[in-house]
Structure 1
Amino acid sequence: MPRLKRALLSPKLFVKSILLFTIVYTIYLSTSTTTSVYLSTTQSKLNIYTNQLYQKINLQFNQWYYNILVYDYNLFSDSNFQQQLTIIKSEKLQDENHKIDLWNLDDSFNLPVSVKVPNYLLSPSSSSSSSTDKKPLIQPFDPRLTLSVYYNYIETNKDNGNDLKLPFHWSDWVDFSKLHKYILNPSKTDLCSSLFDISNNDKLNKDSEIKSVDQYCQFIGNANNGNENKATNMLGYKIFAPAQAQTGANHELIGKSYLYTQAPSPKRLIFLTNTNGNYQFDVDNYNVNNISNSILYNEKLTSNLASKVNKENEQSSTLNVLSSYISLIKNSPPSLLPTKQQNNPKDNEIDSHIIEIPEEYFINDPQSIINQLESSNSQLSNSEKDFLSSIKYSVDCKDPPKYFYEAKYVKAMKENWSGEHYDWRFYNGLTIHNAQQQSIILHRLLKNYLKFTQSNNLITWIAHGSLLSWYWNGINFPWDTDIDVQMPIHELYQLARFYNQSLVVENAGTKRLGNSDKTEEFEFDGMGRYFIDVGSSVTHRTKGNGNNNIDARFIDIDTGLYIDITGLALTNEESPDRYNDFLTIDQNTDAGKQKFDQLKQNQKDGDKNNNYSLKNQQLKLYNCRNNHFSSYNELSPLIQTVVENQPGYIPKNFMYILNDEYNLKSLAKKNHRDFTYFNNFNLWLNTKDVSKYLAHKHSPNENSPDGSNQAYSLIKFNKLSKSDHINLLKYNPIMMKEYLETMNFTNYHNLELSQLLKISNYNHNHNNAQTNVSNIGIYRESYDLFNHYRNNYKLGYSLRPDHFINFIIHDNSRWDYQLQVDDLIKLQKQLENDSQQQQEQHHEQQQG
């Protein structure tokens, strides 16, 4: 057995030996005796060339090594394989053990997009005491009801146009079911001290920084306090600040309690569509947290709901969220709201495939923004007034405090790092242990962020780990916990000015392209909701105290998972040495000699900042607040691509950026953590799950990998036959589901990547060339491929199901809304009776 193992691993030693020789030889070629960073043009070009040569050789050898024995079966185009897969899919859908897990593969599945409307909402002024009409203190959360009510309200009040302001309370948009027993219980207990105060638990607090409970929680009690709002009195306490290190269960209550009692409303609600434009409305009194603005208590939102329900389905009193969406966009189409105008090269179709970023978009000049807003003759909107105040605050604040807080766990908890990937306000429990839920949330996050930025003309691109995962197969890594994007500082200011504190609502329906406006030609899309939050110190473009490396977030309010948004700007920060080869100064000209002398004098004087400022200006180097640098030539023009089946953008020289941040091995290494990449599926699969299949396939006496030895497992996996591939999907229906959901897109991604690699190589060899679409045919090939995919496949459609629909399909108790209402009323009555009994007992004890 050891002999067989050594034989299998022998290519590893051989390849590494060749790699070592290649690396040493290439380094030798690139060695220079030049000591100054200001190189001659000839030396600079030589260094650049040898570096590029090294990168190409290194990448090719890594790819060869990690694909030893792999055979390309071209499963996507293999009709026999696809026929077998269709049969297996049909069999699994008939199997009761797998039917629910595979529901979204069933084309005949009837989606539960309708919700029964409680009678108390249909006749809000009724005084009926019947159980079906009784109004609870708080009603269950269901986005089907919330979106249907708001779609109807907007359509009914369409004559008000953009002047329409919407009522809002977080209880209609976030699931507060974990607070229900505290809200409904008339006898309030001091949860601040009894539950949230963990300061006396030394075992739990070990090595953690615990915040005093009175710094974020205040007990109100049973009495109706006239100084507090209605929601605070109903809950009996209020959360007014983040708690820092806490237990996971407490974080869920703390975040929801803050939203319910104290959090201001979003400033604006933005309803996306999959057509041109979106609906944008300001929120009425957004600074005030008032539960009277909720659907339950605000009759204005439900005043004509009865007629809407009767029109849709008189017998069952239901609302269909998809029908409500269709009715809105047909009867009151979204206007292209002129909230933001900028010179963006997207005026015609071909130019949308590439975006030349104006260089001035990377210049950080907050004072000019302040001057422009203060001298503006036009009336500033409330959002612009708030933006002006925030910019002034940022400029004046020399040491800004931490802005974004996460659901940080105490260190004594298992996997204490995991809570830091969730915003504390919207934390609803860990998702990292549910791979399908995690992939759904991250997919929908990116889908709606890209749709939002596209429809509002904001320049952005995927970055860091998200760019690396795109390189492999166009979708997020299965171990990802967040998404990274970047934008120029100019666009970050635009985001803050017009959209900060907005709630973005996913388009509930998608109109099938090429069809007429018939109801059946729309299909359900999703009901995600996402909060845009821009930090309070965006004018600071250096790391500073390190507390605010992230400029903004696009947050999923169902879970607290988010997209990190960072702005790039020209600064005087120290830029990496890798750019020195591009820094050339012609000392034969007066201007060049003057600049060279100035740089040398700066070095001599020790004026480091001034020195890097000049270097960064000459090379057009831009950085975020975490000191990730990119050059203008690496970024622009941005190239249109498809990310998670959504149109998006990547930097021009993405290969150079990935090599610098992750090294070339990351573009070829096929095993990471618990996952292995399978070329024929274009997917990262759980290594242990594949090993289980091989163990199942082989007899107990035969050797099969257990995943612990990555090199050995990889060789065995690379040798899988075509029949192994189909049997693996049959053995593991969840893998089959993942493959069927993504195969059309990942196959396109492989074709697209080959085109984009040509572009990247061209750009690498033409660093100073000006982009001109008309005379660079390689861009045309990429553009034509993109159009072919758009015209023949479902570009822009969701690869994964809606989070809430998937949730209620797996949880029958959440399917029927009326049953949830009835359960709440029963709980309310039980708690009222229990409280009354306690009071009577207490009274008897006092009498005795």
Structure 2
Amino acid sequence: MLVEAKWFLYKYKRLLVALGLLVALIYLVYEGFHNDVATNYANQQLSKIGIYKIKYPSVKQVDALFENTENQYSNVLFSYLNSKKETGLPETVPFSWNQFLDLDSYFARKDIQDKLLKENSCLKLERHFGKPEAVSFNCKDEKFDNLIPYKINENIFLYLTADNRVLLKNLYLQTSAPNPASLVYLMDDLVYQFPVDPKSQLIKIEEPGSLDKNLDRFKTNFAAKFIHKPLADLFESKTLSKFDFSADWPEVLDFDAPKYFSEAYTLNEPKASAYDWRFFDHLQAFDMNQRHAILKRLMRGWSHFSQQFNIFSWINKESMVGWYWNGLNLPWTNDLDIQLSASEFDKLLKFNNTLVFDYNDSSKGHYNVFYLDINPYYSKIRGNNNNMVNARFIDVMSGVVMDVTVLILVEDFQGLMSSKSLTEKERARFKDLERKESMALYDSSYITYPVDQLSTFIPALFENEITYVPAKYEDIIQSKHKSLIGATALQGHKYRQFLRLWVNQENCKIDEKAIVSPSTKHDDEECKKNSQQVRELYEKTKKVTIQHFLELNNFEKFKDNLQNYKLSIPRDARRTF
């Protein structure tokens, strides 16, 4: 059979090559028109503030199809709840991290069992990790079960191997991690929140059936218990006043407040410091293809969650810069940046320590789960730099995070200036604002914004999902992010303007002199032709990036009336990317 195939290819080689060239020619003619339209408009917009270009990595999108962990837990949970049809739903539902993440399967591995038998005390585990004496490690020689001889109570601030990182977080989740306070299920236009029993316990169902059938039965059995909140298709501009940013929070200077959020410090992986250690999985987090898909589902999950609970937020910082370039996240960033006002943060507080199951796309086989964790050390004034993020929305299968920060109205300049965490430059800026009697907003990093910069927000598409951006996004980019908009290449990436993508320079080699110049159409086409990763990324993003520049064009048309701007886009159109 193999010989026959080789003979066929040899005999018809020229014909096949000719057909391939014909198809490629037709494709390039078709694509050239769309590329020119979008690129010309892009250059007009970017030239206004001196932008040229950046890059995007080669990514092969992988959506989360959690068939063996979270879905197993959801399946037995809804089977259990359906059995309560006659007696009514319990006040709290049972939960354990063990069952939720199937930790028994991990600890049943022979290599893990051998390691636990060998490192059978906290002291031996410390030596295995290479812990210096000066580094603290909250491990207690308290037998958890017949296999695990100790309890891990918190992270260790050491660079560990990736495998040891996973071992540490699984030991923590198995032995010490508290249960979430609640579970939120988002299912199409229905929302349900379950309080969780704080005591860890397994749900035992011998034959739970299928998840889809159990969900359908639950919707029928307990229809009256659901919140009916359809996801919108029409989005309007939002206006906030200074009162939305006024926070009735404590004004506490705590110079000894410990760092709340802790990261997955990993040997030879400096970017691991962006991942939450409790859910870190190097196989997903370090794979660029996976990470792109994870960030997209984080954005989609947050959009669904915030819409269905009426929590208004917007993208800012590097996420907004990425949106401005091409509607996508900057490829070298490992997280997302969301901001909200103090009044919206107050709404978010009641969802602290919540697992969010985003089943809005379950009909397409996508089941995503996130953990919302709010930093308890939030106040108007900070005593140190340990807690510069107010909350995190975390992908539980990888540890990739969305950082959530709150904007607060400056009401006590003297109190702010007494914080030791302020640099002299920041202290001088607050003194100047006080002298001018200016109204300003600040976040937990003491970055300030004039109130009028964050008063009107317009709906936009970021990673093909609905979000909001400040109407004065150009002013903010000019004042806060000049280093990200004035170059043709950044972080090992070059912006390919005719592909509308930041492309890793390893994917398309480039002469050093050409790095500082705008890319040409010929070079961009050659890059796409010679790199399969670039071709795949381009095919997946071309409609989205063209849509983005049409969106910027609409903003330009409405620039004098952005407070009345509206965006209409069906949910199904946002699902495809």
Using the TM superposition, give the Cα deviation of residue 179 of structure 1 relative to its aligned residue in structure 2, in angstroms: 3.2
Q: Is the 8 A contact 1:623 1:630 kept in 2?
A: yes
Using the TM superposition, give the Cα deviation of residue 403 of structure 1 relative to its aligned residue in structure 2, in angstroms: 1.4
Match 1:211 to one of 135, 153, 167: 135
Alignment correspondent of 2:572: 794
For 1:219, the aligned partner's letter is D
The reply on whether 1:622 has 2:476 as its aligned counterpart is: no
Q: Is the 8 A contact 2:231 2:304 kept in 1?
A: no
Q: Is the 8 A contact 1:220 1:233 kept in 2?
A: no
Match 2:295 to one of 437, 442, 450: 442
SS of corresponding position for 1:468: helix
Summarize the alignment of residues 562-573 of structure 1 with structure 2, pairs less than 5 Å apart. 562-571=401-410, 572-573=412-413
For 1:528, the aligned partner's letter is N
* 1:359 to 1:559, Cα distance in 2 relative to 1, 3 A: same
Q: Is the 8 A contact 1:675 1:684 kept in 2?
A: yes
Alignment correspondent of 1:60: 48
* 1:333 to 1:650, Cα distance in 2 relative to 1, 3 A: farther
For 1:282, the aligned partner's letter is P
Using the TM superposition, give the Cα deviation of residue 457 of structure 1 relative to its aligned residue in structure 2, in angstroms: 0.8
Using the TM superposition, give the Cα deviation of residue 623 of structure 1 relative to its aligned residue in structure 2, in angstroms: 0.4
Q: Is the 8 A contact 1:179 1:253 kept in 2?
A: no
Q: Is the 8 A contact 1:179 1:257 kept in 2?
A: no
Using the TM superposition, give the Cα deviation of residue 732 of structure 1 relative to its aligned residue in structure 2, in angstroms: 3.1
Alignment correspondent of 1:145: 72
How far apart, CA to CA, are the structure 2 residues paired with 1:216 and 1:178?
Answer: 22
How far apart, CA to CA, are the structure 2 residues paired with 1:743 and 1:609?
Answer: 42
Using the TM superposition, give the Cα deviation of residue 535 of structure 1 relative to its aligned residue in structure 2, in angstroms: 1.1
Alignment correspondent of 1:720: 522
Q: Is the 8 A contact 1:573 1:609 kept in 2?
A: no
The reply on whether 1:481 has 2:334 as its aligned counterpart is: yes
Using the TM superposition, give the Cα deviation of residue 684 of structure 1 relative to its aligned residue in structure 2, in angstroms: 1.5
For 1:404, the aligned partner's letter is F
The reply on whether 1:174 has 2:15 as its aligned counterpart is: no
Summarize the alignment of residues 373-412 of structure 1 with structure 2, pairs less than 5 Å apart. 399-409=256-266
Match 1:363 to one of 224, 230, 246: 246
Alignment correspondent of 1:78: none
Q: Is the 8 A contact 1:428 1:559 kept in 2?
A: yes
Match 1:499 to one of 334, 340, 351: 351
How far apart, CA to CA, are the structure 2 residues paired with 1:356 and 1:61?
Answer: 25
How far apart, CA to CA, are the structure 2 residues paired with 1:642 and 1:155?
Answer: 38
How far apart, CA to CA, are the structure 2 residues paired with 1:501 and 1:196?
Answer: 30
Q: Is the 8 A contact 1:174 1:557 kept in 2?
A: no
Using the TM superposition, give the Cα deviation of residue 508 of structure 1 relative to its aligned residue in structure 2, in angstroms: 6.0
For 2:311, the aligned partner's letter is L
SS of corresponding position for 1:272: strand
The reply on whether 1:250 has 2:164 as its aligned counterpart is: yes
For 1:631, the aligned partner's letter is P
How far apart, CA to CA, are the structure 1 residues paired with 2:220 and 2:498?
Answer: 43
The reply on whether 1:684 has 2:524 as its aligned counterpart is: no
Q: What stretches of structure 2 of length at least 5 have no aligned partner?
A: 1-43, 417-426
Using the TM superposition, give the Cα deviation of residue 632 of structure 1 relative to its aligned residue in structure 2, in angstroms: 2.3
How far apart, CA to CA, are the structure 2 residues paired with 1:103 and 1:219?
Answer: 40
How far apart, CA to CA, are the structure 1 residues paired with 2:489 and 2:224?
Answer: 47
How far apart, CA to CA, are the structure 2 residues paired with 1:684 and 1:736?
Answer: 13
Match 2:394 to one of 555, 564, 571: 555
For 1:679, the aligned partner's letter is Q
How far apart, CA to CA, are the structure 1 residues paired with 2:153 and 2:102?
Answer: 19
Q: Is the 8 A contact 1:246 1:408 kept in 2?
A: yes
* 1:565 to 1:216, Cα distance in 2 relative to 1, 3 A: same
Using the TM superposition, give the Cα deviation of residue 614 of structure 1 relative to its aligned residue in structure 2, in angstroms: 5.0
Alignment correspondent of 1:639: 458
Alignment correspondent of 2:192: 279
Q: Is the 8 A contact 1:574 1:612 kept in 2?
A: no
For 1:267, the aligned partner's letter is A
* 1:324 to 1:162, Cα distance in 2 relative to 1, 3 A: closer
Deviations 1:314-369 (A, max 9, x none): xxxxx3x4554455446655856499xxxxxx99997x4111224322112237xx
Summarize the alignment of residues 157-306 of structure 1 with structure 2, pairs less than 5 Å apart. 157=84, 164-174=91-101, 176=103, 177-181=105-109, 189-197=119-127, 210-212=134-136, 215-220=137-142, 231-248=144-161, 249-275=163-189, 277-284=190-197, 286=198, 288=199, 290=200, 293-294=201-202, 298-299=203-204, 302=205, 306=207
SS of corresponding position for 1:62: coil
Deviations 1:637-656 (A, max 9, x none): 22111111111111121111
Q: Is the 8 A contact 1:647 1:795 kept in 2?
A: no
Alignment correspondent of 2:364: 523
Alignment correspondent of 1:659: 478
Q: Is the 8 A contact 1:486 1:567 kept in 2?
A: yes
Q: Is the 8 A contact 1:534 1:552 kept in 2?
A: yes
How far apart, CA to CA, are the structure 1 residues paired with 2:527 and 2:279?
Answer: 38
Q: What stretches of structure 1 of length at least 5 have no aligned partner?
A: 1-55, 68-99, 105-110, 116-140, 222-230, 310-318, 340-345, 368-393, 511-521, 577-606, 692-704, 763-775, 800-848
* 1:197 to 1:338, Cα distance in 2 relative to 1, 3 A: farther
Using the TM superposition, give the Cα deviation of residue 476 of structure 1 relative to its aligned residue in structure 2, in angstroms: 1.1
Using the TM superposition, give the Cα deviation of residue 741 of structure 1 relative to its aligned residue in structure 2, in angstroms: 2.2
Using the TM superposition, give the Cα deviation of residue 175 of structure 1 relative to its aligned residue in structure 2, in angstroms: 5.5
How many residues align structurally? Answer: 515
Summarize the alignment of residues 757-768 of structure 1 with structure 2, pairs less than 5 Å apart. 757=556, 759=558, 762=560
Q: Percent identity?
A: 23
Larger Rg: 1
How far apart, CA to CA, are the structure 2 residues paired with 1:347 and 1:174?
Answer: 29
Using the TM superposition, give the Cα deviation of residue 262 of structure 1 relative to its aligned residue in structure 2, in angstroms: 0.8
Match 1:670 to one of 485, 488, 491: 488
Larger fraction in strand: 2
Q: Is the 8 A contact 1:447 1:798 kept in 2?
A: no
Larger fraction in helix: 1
Q: Is the 8 A contact 2:488 2:515 kept in 1?
A: no
Q: Is the 8 A contact 2:253 2:381 kept in 1?
A: no
TM-score (normalizing by structure 1): 0.54
SS of corresponding position for 2:386: coil
How far apart, CA to CA, are the structure 2 residues paired with 1:750 and 1:160?
Answer: 56
Using the TM superposition, give the Cα deviation of residue 447 of structure 1 relative to its aligned residue in structure 2, in angstroms: 1.2
SS of corresponding position for 1:639: strand
How far apart, CA to CA, are the structure 2 residues paired with 1:264 and 1:161?
Answer: 26
* 1:175 to 1:796, Cα distance in 2 relative to 1, 3 A: farther
How far apart, CA to CA, are the structure 2 residues paired with 1:615 and 1:348?
Answer: 44
Q: Is the 8 A contact 1:542 1:627 kept in 2?
A: no
For 1:268, the aligned partner's letter is S
Q: Is the 8 A contact 2:304 2:358 kept in 1?
A: no
SS of corresponding position for 1:689: coil
For 2:329, the aligned partner's letter is N
SS of corresponding position for 1:532: strand
User: How well do the aligned residues superpose, as a CA RMSD in angstroms?
Assistant: 3.9
Q: Is the 8 A contact 2:285 2:400 kept in 1?
A: no
Q: Is the 8 A contact 1:268 1:282 kept in 2?
A: yes
For 1:523, the aligned partner's letter is K
Q: Is the 8 A contact 1:574 1:609 kept in 2?
A: no
SS of corresponding position for 2:468: strand
TM-score (normalizing by structure 2): 0.78
* 1:553 to 1:160, Cα distance in 2 relative to 1, 3 A: farther
* 1:246 to 1:755, Cα distance in 2 relative to 1, 3 A: same
Deviations 1:705-758 (A, max 9, x none): 35xx1x41465841417xx73x75454333232223222222111111222245
* 1:535 to 1:615, Cα distance in 2 relative to 1, 3 A: farther
Using the TM superposition, give the Cα deviation of residue 634 of structure 1 relative to its aligned residue in structure 2, in angstroms: 0.8
